[in-house]
Amino acid sequence: MAERIVLVTGATGKVGQAFMRRFLSREAWSDARIRALCHNRVVDASDRVQIVRGSISERADVSAAVEGVTHVLHLATCKETPDAFVDVAIKGMFWLLEECRLSPSFEQFILIGGDAGIGHFVYPHPVPVVEAQKHSAYEGCYALSKVLEEVMLEQYYIQYDFNGCCLRAPWIMEKDDFRYTLSFGEDVFGGPRWRDLVGAEKADQYAAAGTVPVMLDAQGEPMLRNFVHVEDLTEAIVAALGHPAARQQLFNICMDEPVDYRIMADYLHETRGLPSVDIPTDFHRTWLDNNKAKFLLDWRPEYDLADLIESAWEYQRADDDPRKIWYPG
């Protein structure tokens, strides 16, 4: 049997690092190696992890990275960085697809998509949100990039009978991320920025008291918002890798239930005595349906709301492990 090599773009990010740990520990892939295409930062090399330096926006770099590869896991992305948007989301995706299509060793391409491509909580959706939901990017280039990546992959199915798979993930949590999504301070992780909604004076008071924001939707009901823990997402990646049922499929990969902000606040009050405050917004409830992945990939998420909270509050971040997001990586 030919050597199996998995090319990973975005390997230095939270998903890439977690995937490599999980993949390298699996007996079914013990004969396989990882090739990490690194741009600004690098991962640690080993006898099973090879590093190649380059940019996915350069065809020559991508061609060299894809040579001899059997599987590709595409994680590299950019957020609201318009200057990098075309290079990473369009050129990078295109060159990867092209070089895979032309490679005699290539077997499977896995894209990690995002619910930003269907507008997550910016637009109202039918509930539950299944994989057939129409693309609907919200303002900015990040959500648009998620739409374009999925569409490009789908068109390669049609044009070339390409063997690909997209795992569509909502907000990905690790370590103490979830705790800091609820911060009224400047250290808030992601959005909304609660202090912008309530003002600096109130935000400082809430931060000092450890107050938990209860996001309300456009109808005044507690928000339902989708999350996935990085460990559950990487387990889904391993499940899809080489799986015949993943061929040309799109899967929602998320917790079994979205986070209900009221239930979350009640839990934190009961377990840690934290107060809460309602924060009205114009956002909408969403509920991603993950049953397709359960049925076809035999995958199940392990993390529920309590696990998400407890793991975030118990995590002790080391001095050399700052919270910093690198785009592009």
Strand partners, 33: 5
Which residues, at least 6 apart from 116, have a Cβ–Cβ distance to it below 8 Å? 137, 138, 142, 143, 146
Residue 234: both structure tokens together = 């990487």
Q: Distance (Å, rounded) from C-alpha 52 to C-alpha 36? A: 6
Residue 189: both structure tokens together = 């992780």
Q: pLDDT by residue for the chain (329 residues), tens digit each? A: 679 999 999 999 999 999 999 999 999 999 999 999 998 889 999 999 999 999 999 999 999 999 999 999 999 988 888 888 888 889 999 999 999 999 999 999 999 999 999 998 999 998 899 999 999 999 999 999 999 999 999 999 999 999 999 999 999 999 999 999 999 999 999 999 999 999 999 999 999 999 999 999 999 999 999 999 999 999 999 999 999 999 999 999 999 999 999 999 999 999 999 999 999 999 999 999 999 999 999 999 999 999 999 999 999 988 888 877 654 43
CATH fold of 5-173+226-254+287-301, please?
Answer: Rossmann fold (3.40.50)
Q: Distance (Å, rounded) from C-alpha 135 to C-alpha 121? A: 13
Q: Distance (Å, rounded) from C-alpha 157 to C-alpha 101? A: 11
Residue 190: both structure tokens together = 């992601």
What DSSP character marks residue 29? G
Cα–Cα–Cα angle for 85, 87, 89, rounded to 5 degrees? 55
CA 305 to chain centre: 18
Long-range contacts (CB closer than 8 Å, 24 or more residues apart) made by 83-87: 84/327, 84/328, 85/141, 85/144, 85/145, 87/55, 87/56, 87/57, 87/328
